[in-house]
Each structure stands twice: as C-alpha cells, then as structure tokens.
Amino acid sequence: MPTTQAISLSSLLGFFLTISILVHPSNSAIDSFVYGGCSQLKYAHGTPYESNVNSILASLVNSASTSNYNSFKISVPGSSQNDIVYGLFQCRGDLTNSDCRECVAHSVSQIGIVCPDSTGGALQLDGCLVKYDNTPFLGAEDKTVVMKKCGPSIGLDSSARSDALLAYLTAGGQFFRVGGSGNAQGMAQCVQDLSLSECQDCLTEAIGRLRNECGSSAWGDMFLAKCYVRYSERGDYSKSDDNDTEKTLAIIIGLIAGVSLIIVFLSFLRKIFEKKGGK
C-alpha cells in the first residue's frame, strides 16, 4: 500500500501540473485571448432564442472551413422578431482555412463560458473574431474602442519607424493589411461587413488613436469595434509585457513554495505517526 506521503505527493504533483497548464499561455498564437464583451441581458433556457444562438454559433464554425469571413441572420421556425440572432466571424487574413476553422471553433467553445446565457457576446482571439447579438449590427460602422494596449517607450528613432509603418498601413486599401521594415512589423484589418471606404475611415481613426496614445512605444494594439491596428518593433504580435511575465513567474514560484511547505509538513506528520506506531 502506498504511504500517506507518496499519495499526497502524487496528488500535489498532479495539482501543480494542472495549475502550470492553466498559467502557461496557449501553444497556438491564434488562440491567444485579446478581449471579450457580453450583453448584460440574459436569455432563458429552452426558448427559441437559445435555439437561434446555438444555430448561429454552429453556422459560424461550419462556414469557417471554407472562408475567412461570413455573417448570418438566423430565426428558427416559431421564432418571433425579438428572437432573431445576428452573428459573424472573421479570421486574420493570413490564416489558412483549417487554421481559421480551428480558431473559430475554439472561440465558439469559449464564448459560452465568457458570456453564459448572454443575449449578445463578442470574443476576439489573436486569429479570429466571433460576435453575435439580437440587435442588428451587420454593416454598421462602429469606432468604439474595445481594447487598447501600449508597450514600453523605446525612443524617438523607433517612433519615426512606427509612424512610417502606420502611414503605410493607412494607405493599404484592403480589408487586411500587413507591412514592415526590419524588425518593425504592422498589421491592420477591418470586419468585412464594412465597405472599403468605411474600412478606411475606421482604420484612420484607429491609427490616429494609436499614434496619440502609444507614442514611442515598442508595440501597440488598438482595437475598435469594427477594425484594429497592431504594430511591433520586435517583429511579432505576442506582446506580453514585463509586468505580465513577472506576475506569471510570481504565481509559479508561489505554487512551488506552497507545495514544498506542504510536503515538509506531511513528512513531519508521517514521522510522528511512525513513532506512535512503533510504541
């Protein structure tokens, strides 16, 4: 029979492994969380609206196998006007169909956790956007800031390179735009329910805000409701800043210290029980 200490060690190591997996970022960059938002209104289970939500989310996943964007308006038989659900997905323009479907499927599996029973929700991952709502939003311009983040300042020379890069992205003329020089890389994308002129208007707004608010930062992200712009002097888009890294390390170190103390305590108890059993 395993000793109390051995059983405890096995359980603790299993627990630590689970926590480590949860703390560790996704192996796939396209599945990295960017932002999420949910309607405060909730729907009741077993209603036509719930059926419409489930139907539209399934349609998004199925459609992602063959395209990088699609939108839907769904109302199952027996639904009222108030039960109609509008939804769309869009993948990053450089993803393959298989990567796009994988990203959308992952997003759909998570949006129910992020927005349980919400009448509307949006989830932006690094590689794709999924959104649904009972309020019509398809084709409507929306320049609301939903997420912004700036890296540390790295000086005026880099700021000049970033300005040139952002100017290039502004003039791109497509729904998905990439560009760069050396290590400096940039990316911009609009949701394709906009016209190209509306896309240009949205990106001009996003780039203007990014210049004003991120200045000479090493990297910057500006996500509006219908478009986004990202740039990085490091040539990548996995921009976890130093504070995030330090927090993760602190959590892991704390877990290791906690596990070590528990092991020492259990070992101490085991010795006491062995002494009592030997009497």
Domain that holds residue 220: 145-232
Instruction: Give tens-digit pLDDT for 224-257.
Output: 999 999 988 765 554 444 344 344 444 444 555 5
What's the confidence (pLDDT) of residue 22? Answer: 31
Model pLDDT, residue 162: 67
Contact in structure between 30 and 219 (CB atoms under 8 Å): no
**pLDDT computed for residue 9 by the predictor:** 34
Residue 47 falls inside a structural domain: yes
Note whether 88 and 57 are same-domain residues.
yes
Look at residue 50 and tell me if it is in a domain.
yes
What are the tokens at 113?
A: 């956790």
* Residues 39, 123 within the same domain: yes
Q: Is residue 33 part of a domain?
A: yes
In whole angstroms, give the CA distance from residue 165 to residue 34. Answer: 22
pLDDT tens per residue, range 47-78: 999 999 999 999 999 999 999 999 999 987 77
pTM of the model: 0.72
- Residue 17 in domain: no
Residue 51 exposure: Cα atoms within 13 Å on the Cβ side: 10
Q: How far apart are CA 97 and CA 173, in angstroms?
A: 23
Q: Would you state the structure tokens that stand for residue 23, as one six-digit string?
A: 């703390």
- Domain shared by 149 and 180, yes or no: yes
Residue 6 located in a structural domain = no
CA distance 105 to 96: 14
Report d(CA 53, CA 51) in Å as an integer.
5
Place of tokens 């800031």: 145
Q: Is residue 152 part of a domain?
A: yes
Locus of tokens 């911009």: 188
With H, G, I as helix, E, B as strand and everything else as coil, classify residue 183.
Answer: coil
Domain count, the chain: 2
C-alpha 226, offset from chain centre: 16
Residue with tokens 């996500």: 223
Which residue positions in the chain have pLDDT lower than 70? Answer: 1-28, 155-162, 182, 234-261, 263-269, 271, 273-279
Listed residues 81, 108, 133: the one ending a domain: 133
Residues 52 and 78 in one domain: yes
Same domain, 180 and 99: no
Same structural domain, 39 and 126: yes
Of the candidates 112, 133, 154, which is a domain's last residue? 133
The pLDDT, as a whole number, for residue 167 is 79
